[in-house]
Amino acid sequence: MRSSRKRQILAATTLLMVLTCTISISSATGGDTFTDISSSYELVPEDGTVKVSREITFHNNDPDTKYWRGYYSNYNSYLPEGALNIEVFDEENSMAFSKSGEGYYVFYFNNKVWYEESYTFHVDYEIEINKNTAVFSLSEYGDNVEVTLEVPADFETHLSRDDYKVEEKMYSSVYIFEKGQSWDKACNVNSVRASPRLTLKDTAHLQERDVDIEVKYWEGEEEWAQDTMQTTIESLELLEETWGVAYPPEYNITITQANLTETGGYGGFNQGRNGIWLLYTSNHGILVHELAHYWTRACNFDQLWMDEGYADLYAYIVLNEMAPEEAESRRERFLKKYEELYDEYDFPLSDWNTPDTLNSDTEEHVDFGYKKAFSLTYTLYETIGIQALQQANLEFVESSDGIDNIDYLEIIGSVSSTDTEFVEEYLYN
């Protein structure tokens, strides 16, 4: 009887000593635990997926688990929203897993990982893409990570970071991030296969005439085309109303779904009579911005800040009618970015110009110019109101000569009695 009682006490003591520990990726630092991760991403357009395969080796060097005082039994990891067909398994068996919120999953080990032990398991899943376009992120978290991305040779691919090497195969390109590189932020992937475009047609019934609209898009992007058409027609009507000027050009509009090379690295590019080239990942704000350029060009602006600042202002004004939350989010994002970049990049708007092609060396400087121009025009809009802006717009359009900074200041001063001296601060300081 006393022997049985003793065994029960020992069992209870052992149970108290063996504490189950949970590790999260964010705390896997300091040498206590360590993860080796090997991830491969393969673009398979025929299946409409990116196939992701990740091998994770978890090493327990946590001294708090010495002498059988505890062990690790699970592992937290991030998977992108919309991850499909998730499979988790070790070398012998499948593993249980559950979603814990905000993209994080808990993977439950089949074995207890004691001090100075390791555990290797695999996570496979798929990311849904379109047949000819793929937009996704390489999101990696770990201490020693290597990543490969394999893309068919007929896809043009742009990555948001450049610390990789490329291995060209017969039918594909393999982008390689070697072990030891930092993964403190995701790498965005934009990949597109140039193919014959389909055409969607409709008509915008505007104040002075009907304008035919063509949207050219890649196969598999029908939803993009329909959304672009609907947004274009609604935006043109609102641009006429809010600008106070009917659609100025005599020609119709073509919008072409494009890749980064075709847009010069920008979200969109308005080529006038040759139409708008719109990056396939661009949002409504960029589309409205490009449509607004049909009006900015009619205003005879000869300063870049006027052209771009007014396009962004009217993108805000129009979006505020169509999608107020989207407009407000865009406004706040622009003004916040202006403040963040100000100390490092500030310059007088009268000196602003942009390169033909955007790259990593010029991106921040160009971005600041856009944000400062928007800050000026938005502040003016808030100060003098839409009616005074419309009166000035009519004077811009009716001017036979180009509108320079002096002309602009005179016209703005003539349409409102409100103090607008701040405009000169933006232009010359």
How confident is the model over 309-337, as pLDDT tens digits? Answer: 999 999 999 999 999 999 999 999 999 99
pLDDT at 242: 97
Instruction: Give the closest residue to 211 by CA, choosing from 240, 182, 174, 179.
Output: 240
CA angle 300, 286, 366 (to 5 degrees): 70
Question: How many CA atoms lie less than 13 Å away from 395 in the CB half-sphere?
Answer: 16
Proportion of the chain above pLDDT 70, given as a percent: 93
pLDDT at 358: 73
Residue 24 pLDDT level (bands cut at 50, 70, 90): very low
3-state SS assignment for residue 223: helix
Separation between Cα atoms, residue 276 and residue 57, nearest integer Å: 49
Question: How many CA atoms lie less than 13 Å away from 290 in the CB half-sphere?
Answer: 27
H helices of 248-362, where?
284-296, 304-322, 324-345
pLDDT at residue 348 above 50?
yes
pLDDT at 17: 28
Torsion angle in degrees (nearest 10) through CA of 15, 19, 20, 25: -170
The whole-number average pLDDT for the span 18-40 is: 58
pLDDT at 359: 75
Separation between Cα atoms, residue 393 and residue 407, nearest integer Å: 12
The whole-number average pLDDT for the span 60-66 is: 91
Q: How far apart are the first and last CA of the chain?
A: 92
Q: For strand 165-168 and strand 172-177, is the pairing parallel, antiparallel, or unpaired?
A: antiparallel
Residue 13 pLDDT level (bands cut at 50, 70, 90): very low
For tokens 């900015």, what's the residue?
296
- Is pTM beyond 0.85 here? no
Lowest average pLDDT, out of 13-22, 167-176, 380-389, 391-400, goes to 13-22
Give the DSSP H or E segment for 135: strand 133-138
Residue type at 123? V
Lowest average pLDDT, out of 13-17, 22-26, 87-91, 281-285, goes to 13-17
Separation between Cα atoms, residue 46 and residue 130, nearest integer Å: 9
pLDDT at residue 3 above 50?
no
